């Protein structure tokens, strides 16, 4: 048995960045049944946190001599080596990792700097975070691991999503192949745009997915239109192709979209929704006009359609099929009348309900 000092030294010598799969997910070894946490243990915060923090598999990291690690509770760890010296580099990697899952029919929330925590490889069997992070996601996951969460948080242990080790490794591999086919696609914006769609932040959906759309259009422009000799004169005009590739002022996004439509590289529906979204996006930027739900739905649908036209293996249609609206009023066809709100007094709110004596001591 190693002494505590040696454990501390080993832990300090193996630092890592940690991010969490969210919604809450158990990554289960292929030869095990999913852990069913007893409700009594959840309520009493007496479950075995060792089961959560244990490492269940490794995954390869391109151009790194060290692998990434996945824990049972969906914590991902990458080493703080030369590849990931900064949190920004870790964020970029985690965004790509999560997008690989997103593209293969497994929803994962987007992250930013607030969601990434510091951690260490602990005793060669687990990953232990050394801070809570600065987001609700990172703090919830970290507190559940540390046995200091509230019952409102630990209840997530009662019904986690389940994915098996080989299943998640397969999705990472397939998702990686999909992303390789669109090398100019920045995963961060696609991931964030889809996350904001779930939370109905329509302006952020449009802002992020419009960046994604422009990257996709550029990919089709550079790799399908410009590389097709049928789209060019028989006698090459000096600097013509270079201008079409590099001069973004002359060859703006709207012009590219129009030419791609005329070349049958995008269809009429795609051109219509892109044109509509561009106008709303410009109004958002210059006039602060709010984005409506339908515009956000249209840009998401169009983004998915363009991705599928480039990579047929991608699977994002499930995002359009899910019913993410949990508004109880809409489901019950109920309209609140706000009578109590309308009849509130101008002052002495609590006294109006409980009598003047309720604040007597405070006023003396």
pLDDT score at 327? 36
Tokens of 301: 């649908």
DSSP for 199-240, please give it: TT-HHHHHHHHHHHHHHHHHHHIIIIITT-GGGS-SSPPTTH
Condensed to tens digits (0 to 9), the pLDDT of residues 72-96 reads 999 999 999 999 999 999 999 999 9
pLDDT score at 1? 46
How far is Cα 155 from Cα 315, in angstroms, rounded to an integer?
A: 30
| Bridge partners of residue 264, in order along the sequence | none
How far is Cα 121 from Cα 1, in angstroms, rounded to an integer?
A: 17
Mean pLDDT taken over the chain = 88
pLDDT score at 196? 95
Condensed to tens digits (0 to 9), the pLDDT of residues 17-62 reads 999 999 999 999 999 999 999 999 999 999 999 999 999 999 999 9
Condensed to tens digits (0 to 9), the pLDDT of residues 100-152 reads 999 999 999 999 999 999 999 988 899 999 999 999 999 999 999 999 999 99
Q: 253 pLDDT band (50/70/90 cuts)? A: confident
* 331 pLDDT higher than 60: no
How far is Cα 83 from Cα 136, in angstroms, rounded to an integer?
A: 27
How far is Cα 213 from Cα 254, in angstroms, rounded to an integer?
A: 12
**What is the sign, positive or negative, of the torsion defined by CA atoms of 47, 51, 54, 55?**
negative
**Spans of all domains in the chain:** 4-180, 187-328
* 323 pLDDT higher than 60: no
Q: 4 pLDDT band (50/70/90 cuts)? A: low
pLDDT score at 363? 72
User: Shortest CA distance to 138 belongs to which of 68, 90, 203?
Assistant: 90
Q: 355 pLDDT band (50/70/90 cuts)? A: confident
* Residue 46 backbone dihedrals phi, psi, to 5 degrees: -120, 15
Q: 334 pLDDT band (50/70/90 cuts)? A: low
Mean per-residue pLDDT for 316-328? 59
Strand, coil or helix: 161:
strand
How far is Cα 49 from Cα 37, in angstroms, rounded to an integer?
A: 11
What sections of the chain are H helices per DSSP?
4-12, 39-44, 50-53, 87-102, 136-146, 151-154, 165-180, 187-198, 202-220, 240-246, 253-262, 268-287, 293-310, 318-321, 328-331, 339-342, 349-354, 360-363
* 306 pLDDT higher than 80: yes
Q: 322 pLDDT band (50/70/90 cuts)? A: low
Indicate the burial class of 138 (C-beta count within 10 angstroms; 0-12, 13-18, 19 or more).
buried
Instruction: Name residue, tokens 């949990």.
Output: 326
Instruction: Name residue, tokens 């509770």.
Output: 73
Q: Are 293 and 200 in contact (CB under 8 A)?
A: yes
Q: 164 pLDDT band (50/70/90 cuts)? A: very high
| Bridge partners of residue 344, in order along the sequence | none
């Amino acid at each position: 048995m190693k002494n505590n000092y040696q454990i501390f030294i080993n832990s300090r010598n193996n630092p890592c960045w940690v991010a969490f799969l969210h919604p809450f997910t158990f990554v289960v070894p292929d030869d095990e049944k999913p852990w069913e946490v007893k409700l009594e243990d959840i309520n009493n915060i007496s479950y075995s946190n060792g089961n959560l923090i244990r490492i269940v598999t490794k995954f390869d990291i391109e151009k790194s001599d060290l692998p990434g690690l996945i824990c049972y509770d969906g914590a991902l760890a990458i080493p703080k080596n030369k590849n990931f010296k900064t949190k920004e580099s870790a964020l970029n990697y985690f965004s790509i990792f999560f997008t690989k899952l997103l593209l293969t029919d497994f929803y994962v929330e987007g992250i930013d700097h607030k969601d990434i925590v510091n951690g260490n490889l602990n005793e060669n069997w687990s990953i232990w975070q050394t801070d809570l992070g600065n987001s609700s996601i990172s703090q919830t996951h970290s507190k559940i691991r540390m046995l200091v969460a509230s019952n409102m948080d630990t209840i997530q242990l009662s019904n986690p999503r389940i994915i098996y080790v080989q299943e998640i490794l397969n999705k990472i591999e397939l998702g990686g192949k999909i992303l390789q086919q669109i090398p100019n696609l920045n995963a961060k914006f696609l991931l964030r745009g889809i996350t904001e769609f779930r939370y109905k932040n329509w302006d952020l959906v449009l802002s992020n997915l419009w960046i994604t759309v422009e990257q996709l259009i550029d990919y089709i422009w550079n790799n399908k239109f410009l590389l097709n000799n049928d789209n060019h004169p028989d006698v090459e005009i000096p600097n013509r192709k270079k201008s079409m590739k590099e001069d973004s002022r002359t060859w703006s996004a709207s012009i590219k979209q129009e030419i791609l439509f005329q070349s049958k590289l995008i269809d009429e529906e795609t051109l219509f929704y892109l044109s509509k979204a561009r106008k709303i996006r410009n109004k958002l930027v210059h006039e602060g006009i709010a984005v409506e739900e339908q515009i956000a739905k249209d840009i998401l649908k169009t983004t998915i359609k363009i991705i599928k036209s480039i990579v047929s293996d991608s699977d994002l249609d499930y995002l359009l099929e899910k019913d993410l609206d949990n508004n109880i009023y809409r489901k019950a066809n109920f309209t609140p009348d706000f009578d109590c709100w309308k009849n509130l007094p101008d002052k002495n709110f609590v006294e109006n309900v409980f009598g003047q004596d309720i604040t007597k001591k405070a006023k003396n």
